[in-house]
Every structure is written in C-alpha cells, then in structure tokens.
Structure 1
Amino acid sequence: MRSLLYITSALVVMALAYWAYSENYKTQASLDRVEELQHEIGQMQEQLAVLRAEWAYLNRPDRLRDLAELNYDRLGLLPLAPEQFGRVDQVVYPDEDLPEITETFDVFGEIEQ
C-alpha cells in the first residue's frame, strides 16, 4: 500500500513539475510578446510625432497665405484676415418655419400643379 502511495505521489510531483515548466515557458513567451508590442508602440508614437510636426509645418499661416496668393487664379482663395471672422451672435440663422411646398417637379423638369 505504501509503495502505491509513493508512486502516486511521485507521479503527482512530476505532473506538477511539467505543468509549472510549461507555464513558465508560456509566461516567458507572453513577456517577449509584450516587449515586442511595447517596441512597436514606441515606434508608432515616434512616427505620430513626426507626422504631427509635418502637419504643423505644412499648415503654417504664412505658407498657406503664400499658397493662396500663388494659386489665386486657379482656386480663387483669399488669404485669411482677422476681419473675416465674426462672433456667434452675428450669425443669421434661418427661420424655424419653412414655407409650404406647393409645386412638385417630375424627373424631366416640368412643373406639376
């Protein structure tokens, strides 16, 4: 009876050792993956910082003003000026009541009554 208990105990210890060994390797693999992901995140943050800097550089007001002046003939853009901006209370909003629709148009553009 004791030998059966010893053998069972030895098998349980071996099974637990195998389980701990496999869990250790899974943990090491997970930690390696986390390190890779953190490295990728760092690279992407650097790329994002570069893109934001480029965006800020390309959207400089003096550069946009020069482009608007150079392409005025093709685009008709005017340079921004402070007097072009207004306050919110100066905005005219449409009336709440819309006029009643009395005429309809068919597909060919003829007026129907």
Structure 2
Amino acid sequence: MRPVLYVLSFLALIALGFWAYRENYATQAALKEVQALQREIVGLREALSVQRAEWAYLNRPDRLRQLATANFDRLGLLPMEPGQFGTAAQIAYPRPKLPEISFSTDIQGTLALPDEGL
C-alpha cells in the first residue's frame, strides 16, 4: 500500500510542477502584453498632446484674423455685430408631445344632485 501512495504522490508532484510551469509562462506572456499595451497608451497620449498643441497653434486669434482678412472677398465674411444675435424669447421651442391614450374607459351612472331642503 505504501509504494502505491509514493507513486501517486510522485505523480501528483509531477502534475503540480507541470501546472506551475505552464502558469509561469502564461503569467509572463500576460505581463509582456500589458507592458506592450502600456507603451501603446503612452505613445497615443503623446500623439494626442501633439495634436492638441497643433490645434491650439492653428486656432490662434491673430492667425484666424489674418486668414479671414486674406480671404474676405472669396468667403464673404462680415464682422460680427450685436444685432446679428437674437434673444431667448425669439427661440421657437417645440411643443411637448402629449402621451397617446392607449385604453378607453366607459363610465356609466347617474349624477346625484344635492338635496335642496337641507
């Protein structure tokens, strides 16, 4: 009985060793994937910050003013004036939609009049 127990323990030890070996490599692969994703995120954040800086550079008010002046005839742009804006009272808001009646109720009965003699 003892030799069978030793053999089963040895086989269990081999199986656990194989499992630990596989888990170790799976963990290392997952860590490499996480590091690659983090490097990609850093690169995308840097690219986004560069694009934001370029957008801010291209939207400088003095540059836009020069472009508007240079293309005035072609675009037909006019300077902004207070009279071009409306008031909140001039906005036509849509009317709220009433819910549809999905059922009908029939009410039958008599209307009791109050007693005159009381």
Q: Which amino acid aligns with 2:4?
A: L
Q: Could you tell me which residue of structure 2 aligns to residue 18 of structure 1? A: 18
Task: Please tell me whether Structure 1 or Structure 2 has the larger radius of gyration of its CA atoms.
Answer: 2
Q: How many residue pairs were aligned? A: 95
TM-score by length of 2: 0.70
The Cα of 1:10 is off from its aligned counterpart by: 0.3
Q: Which amino acid aligns with 2:91?
A: Y
Structure 2 CA distance, aligned partners of 1:95 and 1:26?
Answer: 60
79 and 62 in structure 1: CA distance in 2 versus 1, 3 angstrom threshold: farther
50 and 62 in structure 1: CA distance in 2 versus 1, 3 angstrom threshold: same
Q: Could you tell me which residue of structure 2 aligns to residue 31 of structure 1? A: 31
Tell me the SS of whatever aligns to 2:90: coil
| Residue correspondence of structure 1 range 1-113 to structure 2 within 5 A | 1-79=1-79, 83=82, 89=88, 92-94=90-92
2 and 85 in structure 1: CA distance in 2 versus 1, 3 angstrom threshold: farther
Tell me the SS of whatever aligns to 2:77: coil
TM-score by length of 1: 0.73
User: Any stretches of 5+ residues in structure 2 without a counterpart?
Assistant: 96-118
Name the stretch that deviates more: 68-77 or 42-51. 68-77
The Cα of 1:80 is off from its aligned counterpart by: 5.3
